[in-house]
Amino acid sequence: MDVTTPASTPWLVVGLGNPGPEYAMNRHNVGFMVVDLLAQRIGGKFKRAGKAQAQVLEGRIGPAGPANRRVILAKPMSYMNLSGGPVNALKDFYKVPVANIVAVHDELDIDYGTLRLKLGGGDNGHNGLKSMTKAMGADYHRVRFGIGRPPGRMQVADFVLKDFSSSERKELDYFVDRAADAVESLVIEGLERAQSTYNS
């Protein structure tokens, strides 16, 4: 069910990941990849957000007129398991209701490249979501980017902190582009419309 907020209310779109070049292409950093692409579309650059320990970019998405939305793109710089503090600080600073927050993150229990959008729910063992929920409750939107389960006996922690495989990278740009489209649809058209288009 969509939560109705005034069109003038900003949205906070948070890509979850770990800061630093050594993590840049990890599966766990796909949230960063998606918000980086959204930043390219808006045409701006991230900057440090003062005390919030995050990089942010303010802009607008959507066509001119009533469907146009103010968004704050954010990448917490605190490491994944401490994401909640920076996100909560940004929520308070920009006066964004929890229902207008979107977390973009990797999801183990979904096949690679598959998307699922939802509002609220559990963290499914994801440390970034766990930290966000502890900081501000669970009633925020999620754009879940499937990365699949680790092969064989590989530990989950090792799997998510490894780069996408060479075969996965062949389609990665397409899937990241589609996830960015899904975020835009969610913000502009609402959850139900975005789910009907992008949940597969």
Q: How far is CA 87 from CA 45, 123, 186, in A?
A: 19, 16, 19
Distance CA 83, CA 177 (A): 24
CB 105 within 8 A of CB 144: yes
Q: Which of 28, 105, 126, 141 is catalytic?
A: 28
Compute how many other C-beta atoms are within 10 angstroms of the C-beta atom of residue 164.
19
Please name the residue that has the structure tokens 């808006």: 42
Distance CA 94, CA 68 (A): 18
Strands 47-48, 11-15: pairing is unpaired
CB 4 within 8 A of CB 66: no
Q: How far is CA 53 from CA 47, 74, 137, in A?
A: 11, 10, 20
- 28 annotated active-site: yes
Distance CA 139, CA 107 (A): 18
Residues that are catalytic: 28
